[in-house]
Amino acid sequence: MDLLERPRRLRKNAVLRAMVRETRVSKSSLIYPVFVREGKGIEEPIPSLPGQTRYSPDTLARELEKVSRAGVPAVMLFGIPEKKDACGSGAWVENGVVQQALRIAKREFPQLCLITDVCLCEYTSHGHCGILNGQEVDNDPTVEVLAKTALSHVQAGADMVAPSDMMDGRVLAIRRLLDQNGFSGTAILSYAVKYASAFYGPFRDAAGSAPSFGDRKGYQMDFHNRREAMREAALDVREGADILMVKPALSYLDVVSDISRAFDVPTAAYSVSGEYAMIKSAAAAGLIDEAAVTCESAVSVFRAGADLLITYYAKELARWIDEGRIG
């Protein structure tokens, strides 16, 4: 055949394929979520998230040592308090579970970037992400305590805060309060585009954060909507967000692409608990190759335009990058 163009020439061997690879994946782009439960001596496997564990602040160092050895540069901490109340006051107390964990982590692993989830759902007795007025989450009073929570995290050692509540105006409130208290250099990783998703089920079990009534569709986004994501992201950028997150990841790669193209700040994507659990379940049943599917899924997120990936597979992906499976 008289062909001038033969795309297969550049697929001839592994060296050539790696040389012309369009999407590059680095360990420096990975963030690992960690659950921290109030108490002592806790190292508790999470049945809904096989391979994941709840740690108390005093045992957290064991996991952070593994994360650091793997070459994963950042963790995102989620707190699980011993006691909850209607306003989620455990979220911002000086000696709260996340605040304890931050002090230990900052002292023992100063090289790690410590990011904290800023929300109230783990701390409220009703499981919603804010302060209630009747059966509805009251936006403005919630924003005030979210800002107070973010400040308490930074004062305890957080390098970055990540508000996940989806209240209107919370990025601006956090930015202003941090700046007023001398933390103008602390970045905000905003859950700018967070959908009301069925993929969060295992997380809610792990963190004990399922709402006791109703759902979160009054503040999290409708999964039918794409243009709304651009509006939410633009608002957060104007309010001072340094990084924009899309959550979940795999079912929203179109949105990841839109956000990464439209804004000049980095884009993060959160590969959520349901995505992780589906791969784990299918692999346990012998239906898929866990490593191959995880690598392919992670690359798809970066290929869509993400700069950062929050994933429960961060440690394994770091190893597979070292082994040359992806990169």
Catalytic residue list: 194, 247
- Give yes or no for a contact between 146 and 175, defined as CB atoms under 8 angstroms apart: no
Widest distance between CA atoms in the chain: 75
- Give yes or no for a contact between 288 and 310, defined as CB atoms under 8 angstroms apart: no
Smallest Cα–Cα separation from 203: which of 285, 80, 316, 319? 80
Give the pairing of strands 132-133 and 136-137. antiparallel
Cα–Cα distance, 250 to 248 (Å, whole number) = 6
DSSP class of 135? T
Smallest Cα–Cα separation from 125: which of 35, 58, 239, 211? 211
DSSP class of 204? H
- Give yes or no for a contact between 16 and 10, defined as CB atoms under 8 angstroms apart: yes
Cα–Cα distance, 327 to 322 (Å, whole number) = 8
Kindly report the three-state secondary structure assignment for every residue of 145-194: HHHHHHHHHHHHCCCEEEECCCCCCHHHHHHHHHHHCCCCCCEEEEEEEE
DSSP class of 195? B
